[in-house]
Amino acid sequence: MKILVVRGAFLNIFEMQSYVPLKEQVDIRAIGSHRPIHTYVGIPTTRFFSPYDLGTIGQSIPLWPQMIRAVANRTIGDPHFLLGLERYVRENGPFDIAHGAETYYGYDLQLAKLKKEGM
């Protein structure tokens, strides 16, 4: 069985701790953005660029992340999509389970479209 857990920028050890015991029994992989909450989560992880990452670069400038997110939300939509996710799934799939975080984020829409395509 192959499981894909997609969390983007919100990839963290606290959510992944439930999945770590499964890595001995199934092929489980995590997907995060280049700037996730935690870089090590206990299971094999692949990271992709997300426009949301741009908003985390200027954390020392208070308005910088909000300005980037406001422009991105109005021009490209939710910035939580992952560039290269589709290609990764096509090259490494199919996955039996692809688990997203919420129904709001762009990477969840990417997963839904891949599921519709049969990936």
Tens digit of pLDDT for each residue in 47-65?
999 888 876 555 545 555 6
Give me the pLDDT at residue 6, please: 94
Contact between 50 and 9 under an 8 Å Cβ cutoff? The reply is yes
Instruction: Look up the domain containing 51 and give its range.
Output: 2-116
Number of domains in the chain: 1
Contact between 3 and 26 under an 8 Å Cβ cutoff? The reply is yes
Q: Cα(101)–Cα(7) distance, rounded to whole angstroms?
A: 6
Residue of 22, 78, 26 whose CA lies nearest to 50 = 78
For the segment 69-91, the average pLDDT, to the nearest whole number, is 83
Q: Cα(8)–Cα(64) distance, rounded to whole angstroms?
A: 20
Whether residue 83 has pLDDT greater than 60: yes
CATH number of 77's domain: 3.40.50
